[in-house]
Amino acid sequence: MHSPRPEQAKRRKRKDAVPFGDALSSFLKASGLALKLPHLAIYRAWDEAAGRELARRARPVGFRSGALSVEVESAAHLHELQNFTGEQYRILANARLGAAEIKKIVFRLKS
């Protein structure tokens, strides 16, 4: 048997251990998920208020300054939510949150 060359040994050397929380934070930042996680409770409240079927067709994609952005799959659902039921779902979502965090919902057709 032969021993690995010094440069091979350096490449195989493991990095120092990193606390799991630090590694997870780095991953979330690098993947872009960190931007979505602060609003996870709001997205979940929308999904619960809308119900399983509608939540699959109308997904929250952003939350800023009290405005929840929801991307809708069809023009029919967009029309329904903008003109008739969207406000009801906003009220239900805020009730699930326990506070009026969602001031308005902006619906847009998925591109």
Residue 79 lies in a domain: yes
By residue range, what is the domain housing residue 44?
A: 36-111
Residue 74 lies in a domain: yes
Residue 24 lies in a domain: no
11, 12, 19, 94 from 15: Cα distances, Å: 10, 9, 12, 45
Residue 96 lies in a domain: yes
Q: What is the pLDDT of residues 61-71, one digit of tens each?
A: 999 999 999 99
Separation CA 99–CA 23 (nearest Å): 33
Q: What is the pLDDT of residues 30-87, one digit of tens each?
A: 877 766 677 888 999 999 999 999 999 999 999 999 999 999 999 999 999 999 999 9
pLDDT band at 22 (very low <50, low <70, confident <90, very high): confident
Q: Are strands 67-72 and 58-64 parallel, antiparallel or unpaired?
A: antiparallel
Residue of higher predicted confidence among 9 and 101? 101
CATH of the domain at 64: 3.30.300.180
pTM (predicted TM-score): 0.69
Number of domains in the chain: 1
Query: What number of CA atoms fall less than 13 Å from residue 24's CA on the CB side?
Result: 4
